[in-house]
Structure 1
Amino acid sequence: MKRKIYILLAVSVMTFGLFFTSCSDYLNVEKHFVDTQSEDKIFTNRTYTMQWLAYCYCRLMGDNIEVGHSRFCPQNFADDQVFSETYGRYKAYKLGEIGYGYSYSGYYQNSWKWAYAAIYQATVLINRVDGNTDLTAEEVSDVKGQARFLRAYFYWLMMRRYGPVPIMPTEGVDYGKSYEELSYPRNTYDECVEFIAEEMKQAAKELPEKRNNLNMARPTRGAALAVRAKVYLYGASPLFNGNTEMSDFQDKTGRVLISQEYSEEKWAKAAAAARDVIEGGWYQLFTRKFRDSEVAGDYANPKTIKPPYHPVYSEKNFPEGWKDIDPFESYRSTFSGEVNYYNNPEIIFSRVTNRAEGDHDYLVDYCDVIDLVKHQIPNSAGGYNMHSMTMKQCDAYDMADGKPFDRETCLSGFASAGNKKDRPYDNLEDGVWMGYANREPRFYASVGYNGARWNCTSASDNSASDVINKQVWYYRGKPDGRANNSERWLATGIGIKKYVHSNDCMNHGGNILAKLEPALRYADILISYAEALNEIKGGNSYEIESWDESTTYTISRDINEMHRGIKPVRMRAGVPDFTDDIYGSRDLLFDRIVHERQIEFFAESQRYYDLRRWKIAPEHEGAQIYGCNVMMDEANKEAFYVPVRVAGVQTAFSRKQYFWPMNYDELQRNKNMTQAPGWQDYD
């Protein structure tokens, strides 16, 4: 007789289409009944099979989200953002005090166990779904591809945090075995990379190329290949490729888990994998058309500001130039909720828009992108006013002509009608510090600087005029400035507008527009392609087969191909492409790529991992955090912009912070598990 298994089955019938609304629809015991079913019954029934698959998707929530506020997503905060809710928790986080026995130990404990629960579910489904006669052959292939994608994706989520992890048997695990037989050691990082890469390649064969608007949360062929490209990129990066400083990261047999010998070919495989996505033609960068007029008084949608004239890019349409696009609105709309997933050709994979209210009881808190925005919105608009940008990140945004911002030589004073001629590339309001003038478009789409206008156009009650299109000030004594006995003020005095729509408001009858989670987007693949090519020495080349073996790529440090990766992203941003002397130097281009990723992927949980995989985290995350002098009131406004170290926050970076620690309970359960270097192993 078949072994019995337990599964939570939804009371209501679930359709084949899965658009994420709430995990609680599948996990809340008040909405479910527990039924003992044989595997034969589950995997010959369409509804039960799809509920089984839904369980795997739900484990992408909570601690496994990739963009969100600090309770679930600390990796969204590197050296670019500060969160001030439960400020002591932030300070502990910056010092690496996470794990058993630390003040931070009560957080982020679900990722590991949820991932492996989903991996188990997916594995059973992959091995049993072929026999489901309720599904067509095409549907069986799709379901299997989704499960395979999810299984590999959960491994990917864990590898970024924990490094090498145990790869469970693909035929499934028999939980009737003894405890010792179920104790699996970590695989090497390279083994993890190859397993995920092969799984994603197989998933790409099983998944469709496109989804309809009811199934956008499900992966496609391009999503599988894009994750494969990211996994290869990480595997080629310095932290995992010939890193002798991690020679003590071993299993209990003494096997070293991080590659000790450098291989340039890993970069070639990463480049080829990224090119697979590019050649697929499924994605493109999202852009908005040039706007040559505006409605009088429409501060939310201003007339397009043309970037400084460039003899090449100003005269050509996108992607060869920026003549026909609005760089500011193109970037802003990608994240603000202005455009949905189905109409955004840049988003490759996303959890889409999760209904936070439905998940609250199960997760204890909200974990969607809307909640992130709530922490960014000022007090005066009903927000929590708790997430601030570091001065380092603010100053990283270049000038409108693409030259670096220089605090020593920038314009002085404050914006007024009399100095508009000095700042033709911005819409600064009167009274704003001139250091914020003439910056590149991504600056104005991302930075909620002191004196920025917050539109709050959804406000609708009788006093809505109190917030609609109003400037917000962070001077001490102002409603949004530093306040005693409160956490609701910006530690750096610099706000964040990324993900914020002009509609968004939390008081005066306002609301917040639904947001997409940009877990993986095409700009990342393009820049990753250039990065991988840049790491190949001049004169070297590699013959790498495409994912479907239909062609063979010749991979080398080809400047034209590197342009192909970086130039479109720069054009969309309205800033010039790098010069040939930059492209001609591996070191110079690497520095530019580090900088470009810092700007382009701000607040997308990329910077945290990038700094680590490049092994440059000590110099960046270990540096002190600076911001504006929030002790200053408006009467001393010049002093507000003098850089000061954020009071009460010390930073440090030690080797152990490259990886998260293994949970104490997991170390006790799994006798073959080893701890990441630097963390206590409790033996």
Structure 2
Amino acid sequence: MKKISLFLLSIFLLATTSCNKYLDVVPDEYVTDDDVFKNINLAEQALARLYNAFPDETGSTITAYTDESYHHWTDNGGALDAYKFNLGTWSTVDNPMGNWSGRYQDIRRANIFIERIESVPIPLDRSEYYQTWAPRYKAEARFLRAMYYFELFKRYGAVPLLTSAASIDLNQAASTNVERNSTDEIVNFIVSECDAIAPSLPQTQEPSQVGRATNGAALALKARTLVYAASPLFNGNQLYKNITNKDGKPLFSQSYDKEKWKRAADAAMDVINLGTYSLYSPFPNNPVQNYAAQFHTRDYTESIFQRIKGNDTGLDGNWLPNGPPFKGNGQFTPLQELVDAYEMSNGYPINEPGSNYQSSGFWSGQLWDGLKWQNVSNISNMYKDRDPRFYASIFFQYDVWRFDATKRGMKFAFWGNGNGRTDGWANGKAGTNPWGYNIRKFLSPEYDRNANTGTAKRNWPVFRLAEMYLIYSEAMNEYLDAPDARVYEYINRVRARVNMPALPILAGDRTKDGMRSRIQNENRIEFAFEAHRFWDVRRWMIGTTVDNKPAHVLNAKPSAAELTATGITDINSEEAGVAVFYKPVVIQNRVFEAKHYLMPIPQSEIDKDPGLVQNYGW
């Protein structure tokens, strides 16, 4: 147990430092792979390095790369990268999301570890212990390598499949004419690895081992891989019919295969049937908290695999509003498009007859402030009777947060000169949130930034049970001619956690196309700000629809003419600012072309490897 604790400590320490070289996890006197794999303690540190390379999207700017939000830090590289994607100006030589060579370095490290871990000399007094742990270490490294390949697959589709230490060394000046494997070959490799290692991984981890791979994590990776493979981007996509290796080998299957959906459904059900996980639901009488608390708590009931985090309040500081009671940096504004995607509490989309949605007028009642219910007033009817996940995920005008400490609701509407009065835009201060909403999800009510007290205790959920439920519903809906009880059951389990009505509700819910829209929207809402939407938009091939148009926010920077037109005597008053606030305005005209569904192979890689062919449109 002590060794495991030290292993996990090394993972945490690696996660908090910059590691640019494979061997910088060991003392300077050890400089070769041979040195590492002659010492079991150093080999364990090498495995920790592999875990550290696992994607960490906590607080990721990827939310601003799609129709979830807008990034305000105009002097920050993350914002500039988001602008490149949203304006379509990224390229074969400038792709902030690519990570081709870095990921292949991770794969090389994993290959070396997999080949050598079982031959590391073991002290005689520890031989019995390592008879169990050395094979498990190998299985964990195979899981991580499979995850690295999934990261390449979702970016590029077909990529070279290199599974031995001798097959890749990106430290060399040039490659040896390596070609891309087909998408089906990459998918089959990931799936076969997950199947092979799952029996060698434990079903649950002791508290001191949490953060390491389990059989549930391997099976969840399999399910996610298969649902991507079954999706329109990779399942009979005619856009890629001419993408072949130089010998004519097709890289993207051109035949639609309905059975791929059934494989995905079965894989998701395999995770569900483990019986290891359950939807996080400790507050069934409070649907807002029942959802929200999972993201500021170290949840191990629904989370299948998570990135272990320290008690870091950096995310809270970045995402909280910027006004005096909150002292945050307002990094992102959720877009009106996302706000409008949340259904009404009766289960109707806001634009459906019978939804009872109102865009004008105000209401008074109670809102959850993260710690308790608070009486509120003058809340726009736009935010009345919505899906509880809306209140758990997004801050809006006159919303409340830790009210006993902050003493007032949030004020995003512009009034006066902005400075020190609004919680959004402030004159002369670049980078704060100027447009009417803030992200609430993941923020910890235990942390009072104004008083600098409390901590934030959360992990990053890589896989959770709700995803397996929605994969199953999506895959079965696509496999069947029309949805049946199997489709409804698992999407309704996700909805029931927040007391949303069960489907079907509308006539369209009984059709494949109607349920597809429902399931896609359920994914959008359930996984908001969890780094799902960017990839879902691509695998569903809806980017040219949802990310190729103006993005809207609220009118938090009105003109003097707008304020004067209200007829309110004092145009610098809060009353005047609020009067013109609830109007959608365009913050950015976004561009998404068909070629953007997959990323381009970096030009630098093509230049040094004549065997690589480029993706469509690049």
TM-score tier (shorter): 0.7 to 0.9
The aligned residue for residue 590 of structure 2 is 651
Question: What does 1:127-526 align with in structure 2 at a 5 Å threshold?
Answer: 127-132=115-120, 134=122, 136-170=130-164, 172-173=166-167, 175=169, 182-290=176-284, 325-335=285-295, 337=296, 339-341=297-299, 344-354=300-310, 370-380=313-323, 381-406=326-351, 409-410=357-358, 412-416=360-364, 429-455=376-402, 465=405, 468-476=406-414, 477=418, 478-526=421-469
- C-alpha RMSD of matched pairs (Å): 3.0
* C-alpha displacement of 1:47: 0.2
Distance 1:412 1:427, change over 3 A: farther
Q: What is the SS of the residue equivalent to 1:226?
A: helix
* C-alpha displacement of 1:374: 2.6
Separation of aligned partners in 2, 1:484 and 1:101: 36
Partners of 1:233 and 1:267 within 8 A in 2: yes
Distance 1:26 1:482, change over 3 A: closer
* C-alpha displacement of 1:41: 5.6
Work out which of the residue numbers 101, 114, 128 in structure 2 matches 1:126: 114
Work out which of the residue numbers 585, 588, 594 in structure 1 matches 2:514: 588
Q: What is the SS of the residue equivalent to 2:589?
A: coil
Bigger shift: residues 485-494 or 391-400: 485-494
* C-alpha displacement of 1:51: 1.3
Once the two structures are superposed, residues 71-114 of structure 1 have per-residue CA deviations (whole angstroms, 9 ceiling, x without a partner) of xxx26641011111125554332022224565xx6x446x3223
The aligned residue for residue 19 of structure 2 is 27
Q: What is the SS of the residue equivalent to 1:627?
A: strand
Work out which of the residue numbers 546, 565, 581 in structure 1 matches 2:490: 565
* C-alpha displacement of 1:667: 2.5
* C-alpha displacement of 1:614: 0.9
* C-alpha displacement of 1:663: 2.5
User: Does 2:543 match 1:617?
Assistant: yes
Once the two structures are superposed, residues 35-54 of structure 1 have per-residue CA deviations (whole angstroms, 9 ceiling, x without a partner) of 34676664353202101211
Distance 1:122 1:90, change over 3 A: closer
The aligned residue for residue 569 of structure 2 is none
The aligned residue for residue 85 of structure 2 is 93
The aligned residue for residue 294 of structure 1 is none
Partners of 1:77 and 1:605 within 8 A in 2: no
* C-alpha displacement of 1:247: 1.7
Aligned letter for 2:597? Answer: Y
Aligned letter for 1:431? Answer: N
Bigger shift: residues 487-496 or 470-479: 487-496
The aligned residue for residue 628 of structure 1 is 554
Bigger shift: residues 24-33 or 622-631: 24-33
* C-alpha displacement of 1:527: 0.6
Partners of 2:548 and 2:591 within 8 A in 1: yes
* C-alpha displacement of 1:164: 1.7
Separation of aligned partners in 1, 2:93 and 2:168: 33
Once the two structures are superposed, residues 261-293 of structure 1 have per-residue CA deviations (whole angstroms, 9 ceiling, x without a partner) of 100111111111111111111111000234xxx
Aligned letter for 1:332? Answer: A
The aligned residue for residue 66 of structure 1 is 57
Separation of aligned partners in 2, 1:587 and 1:190: 26
Separation of aligned partners in 2, 1:435 and 1:13: 51
Separation of aligned partners in 2, 1:387 and 1:372: 11
* C-alpha displacement of 1:536: 1.4
Question: What does 1:529-568 align with in structure 2 at a 5 Å threshold?
Answer: 529-538=472-481, 559-568=484-493
Partners of 2:265 and 2:476 within 8 A in 1: yes
Q: What is the SS of the residue equivalent to 1:157?
A: helix
Which blocks of at least 5 consecutive residues in structure 2 are unaligned? 123-128, 368-372, 559-573
TM-score, normalization: structure 2? 0.85
Q: Provide the identity percentage.
A: 29
Bigger shift: residues 380-389 or 187-196: 380-389
* C-alpha displacement of 1:664: 3.2
The aligned residue for residue 563 of structure 2 is none
Which blocks of at least 5 consecutive residues in structure 1 are unaligned? 1-11, 291-324, 357-369, 421-425, 458-464, 539-556
Partners of 2:157 and 2:598 within 8 A in 1: yes
Distance 1:176 1:193, change over 3 A: closer
Partners of 1:205 and 1:221 within 8 A in 2: yes
Partners of 1:57 and 1:150 within 8 A in 2: yes
The aligned residue for residue 79 of structure 1 is 67
TM-score, normalization: structure 1? 0.78
* C-alpha displacement of 1:413: 2.2
Bigger shift: residues 382-391 or 18-27: 18-27
Separation of aligned partners in 1, 2:148 and 2:476: 27
The aligned residue for residue 550 of structure 1 is none
Q: What is the SS of the residue equivalent to 1:608?
A: helix
Q: What is the SS of the residue equivalent to 1:127?
A: helix
The aligned residue for residue 15 of structure 1 is 6
Aligned letter for 1:579? Answer: P
Separation of aligned partners in 2, 1:252 and 1:157: 25
Work out which of the residue numbers 663, 667, 682 in structure 1 matches 2:602: 663
